[in-house]
Amino acid sequence: MDAILLQILNGLDKGSAYALIALGLTLIFGTLGVVNFAHGALFMIGAFCAVTLQKLLNLSFETLDETQKDFLGNPLKVETPYVEYWFGPEVGATIIDWSVPLAILFAIPVMLVVGYVMERGLIKHFYKRPHADQILVTFGLAIVLQEIVKYFFGANPIQTPPPDALSGSVDLGTMVGFDPNAIIYPIWRLVYFGFAVGIIGAVFSFLQFTTFGMVVRAGMADRETVGLLGINIDRRFTIMFGIAAAVAGLAGVMYGPLNPPNYHMGMDFLVLSFVVVVVGGMGSLPGAVLAGFLLGILESFASTTWATTTIPGINQIIIYLVAIIVLLTRPRGLMGRKGVMEE
């Protein structure tokens, strides 16, 4: 029982990332009808927002410390980050320590702007072109974004540690009555899961309970009619694109401590996220979230030693297998609606 619970928990962090990326993909697809192959790149850019902020906060200047001497008797050079100089050593150190959560504040405006520029500058011109063209141009864009990041940050993964307070592990088992040490779980994964649930909740309530969200939902159902009613639906959809980009970006920001960001992490997640969207049902937001968590958990179950000894390598292919089975038996996916993407 505790083993099962542990595997479910293990699947949650990847599942959260899948769910967030798939949610953004579905938002873009549902509103603009565009298949965005560059969405993984947005996830990656988000992660590199955290890297950038961490680097910015660690910018430091050198001073000569007269009290400390090196072995030749010269005064030691001490690097002091500007942040510590401005806010005092203790507050400064805390700020640097919390750079990843702080990057959320930094990433939101950046991602909104990136999404806005992407939609206005490129995707806008592809609404009327065939889906194949949309796939191709966003695929090209993904390559370009990836290479730009590689140019500035190099090809190696960059460590983005979580804050000290959240970096340990917690014994969850004792809280629900299992033996101690049965379920030990890193805190940051819990934080990530909670964060993902929060974002998903925020997006859904934004769509459900605000006037803006209502208009967007109406536009998703029938874009033409909403336009005829005198509402500038294009503008709202552009904003939705920005929001979708921000969701992917935030997923990336918080994912850094789980897996050090590198320039191709977006591509790695993109393929799986597409599979998630298709399994969940193209154009269905709850489907994307559900499928994201389900596939994440499934992957974690397939990675247990029992599964990998029964069928070697099952953890590598399980998601694709499931996707193929789902597509063939339930072509619309788990929660797909009729008439979406069926020529």
Partner 1 sequence: MLGLNKKDTSLLIVVALLTLFAPFILNPFPEGSAMAQFNAGYPDLMQRFVIFGIFAIGFNILFGLTGYLSFGHAAFLGVGSYSAVWMFKLLSYNVIPAIALSVVVAGLFSLLIGFVSLRRSGIYFSILTLAFAQMSFALAYSVLSNPKFNLTNGETGLQVYADDPQILQGANSPDLPHLFGLPMRATYTMDVGAWSFDFNAGYYLCAVIMMVVFYLAIRIFRSPFGMMLRAVKSNQQRMNYTGLNSKPYTLAAFVISGMYAGLAGGLMAAMDPLAGAERMQWTASGEVVLMTILGGTGTLIGPVLGAGFIKYFENIFSKINDNVLHSWFAFLPDGMEDAVVFLIHPFIGKGWHLTLGILFMLVVIYLPGGLVEGGQRLLKRLKRKKTDADDAPSGKTEPAE
Residues at the contact surface with partner 1, assessed by CB under 8 A? 35, 122, 125, 130-133, 135-137, 139-144, 146-148, 151, 267, 271, 274-275, 278, 282, 312-314, 316-317, 320-321, 323-324, 327-328, 331, 341, 343
Question: What's the residue count for the chain?
Answer: 343
Burial (CB count within 10 angstroms: exposed 0-12, middle 13-18, buried 19+), residue 267: middle
Q: Is 65 or 147 the residue whose CB approaches partner 1 more closely?
A: 147
- Cβ 6 to partner 1, closest distance in Å? 24
Q: Is 157 or 161 the residue whose CB approaches partner 1 more closely?
A: 157
- Cβ 188 to partner 1, closest distance in Å? 27
- Cβ 325 to partner 1, closest distance in Å? 10
| Distance in angstroms (rounded) separating the CA atoms of residues 185 and 189 | 8
Q: Is 141 or 254 the residue whose CB approaches partner 1 more closely?
A: 141
Q: Is 77 or 125 the residue whose CB approaches partner 1 more closely?
A: 125
Q: How many helices (H) and strands (E) does the chain have?
A: 15, 4
DSSP string, 76-112: EEEEEEHHHHHH-HHHHHHHHHTHHHHHHHHHHHHHH
Torsion (CA) 62, 81, 189, 322 in degrees, nearest 10: -70
- Cβ 275 to partner 1, closest distance in Å? 6
Burial (CB count within 10 angstroms: exposed 0-12, middle 13-18, buried 19+), residue 201: exposed
- Cβ 238 to partner 1, closest distance in Å? 19
Q: Is 86 or 152 the residue whose CB approaches partner 1 more closely?
A: 152
- Cβ 266 to partner 1, closest distance in Å? 12
Q: Report the candidate in 270, 274, 268 with the shortest Cα–Cα distance to residue 323.
A: 274
- Cβ 132 to partner 1, closest distance in Å? 5
What sign results for the dihedral spanned by CA atoms 76, 80, 86, 92? negative
Q: Is 36 or 99 the residue whose CB approaches partner 1 more closely?
A: 36
Q: Is 38 or 183 the residue whose CB approaches partner 1 more closely?
A: 38
Q: Is 6 or 28 the residue whose CB approaches partner 1 more closely?
A: 28
- Cβ 323 to partner 1, closest distance in Å? 5
* Strand extents, DSSP E, the chain: 60-69, 75-81, 169-171, 184-186
Q: Is 118 helix (H, G, I), strand (E, B) or coil?
A: helix
- Cβ 258 to partner 1, closest distance in Å? 21
Torsion (CA) 284, 143, 197, 174 in degrees, nearest 10: 130
| Distance in angstroms (rounded) separating the CA atoms of residues 211 and 231 | 12
Burial (CB count within 10 angstroms: exposed 0-12, middle 13-18, buried 19+), residue 114: buried
Q: Is 202 or 321 the residue whose CB approaches partner 1 more closely?
A: 321
**What one-character DSSP code corresponds to residue 226?**
H
Q: Report residue 76 as tokens.
A: 């030691």
